[in-house]
Amino acid sequence: MFLILLSLNFTVFAQENFDEGYLWHGKEYCEHQGYEYKLGLYENGSQYKICIFNENENCSIKDFYNNDCGTEFIRVIGCRREGEQIVTSFEICCEGLEPDYSWIGGVTCMKERSSFQKFLDWISFWN
């Protein structure tokens, strides 16, 4: 009995956290694609979260993020070049570059380095 209740509680907890996670990433994904995110309320008080493509078409954040709706509106976003900042989790560095997490203002793209060079950079950062 206790094991079943524990399992049920974990399932509810995991579902709630999953829902919040995809909604946050869905909002970020919608805006990264260049569209408007809108949070609103239905007349019954429940929330809706949509990605607006134009004045006539939109999808729920969950459906757009999961490619269940609006796939014709997905844009190919180019990679970031050396020195450019990575703003969202959907941006990537161009080939031959890697994210540099040591910059205090954010993550930038820089030339790939060997593990030894990364170690030396880490040591110099703390000295």
Q: Which of 67, 75, 74, 28 is nearest to 49 (CA)?
A: 28
Distance between alpha carbon 75 and the CA centroid of its chain, in Å?
15
Q: What value, to the nearest 5°, has the Cα angle with vertex 106 and ends 75 and 73? A: 10
* Amino acid, single-letter form, for residue 35: Y
CB 97 within 8 A of CB 111: yes
Domain spans, the chain? 2-73, 85-126
Q: Does the pLDDT of residue 83 top 80, yes or no?
A: yes
DSSP codes, 44-68: TS-EEEEEE-SSS-EEEHHHHHTTS
pLDDT at 24: 61
The Cα 82–Cα 112 span in angstroms is 10
pLDDT at 103 over 90: no
The pLDDT tens digits of the residues spanning 23-56 come to 567 888 898 889 999 999 999 999 999 999 999 9
77-96: average pLDDT: 85
Q: Residue 63 pLDDT > 60, yes or no?
A: yes
Distances (CA, A) of 30 to 49, 87, 103, 115: 11, 14, 26, 35
- The structure's pTM equals 0.57
More reliable by pLDDT, 29 or 89: 29
| 98 to 38, 87, 102, 114: CA distances (angstroms) | 33, 14, 12, 11
pLDDT in tens, 110-122: 888 777 877 777 7
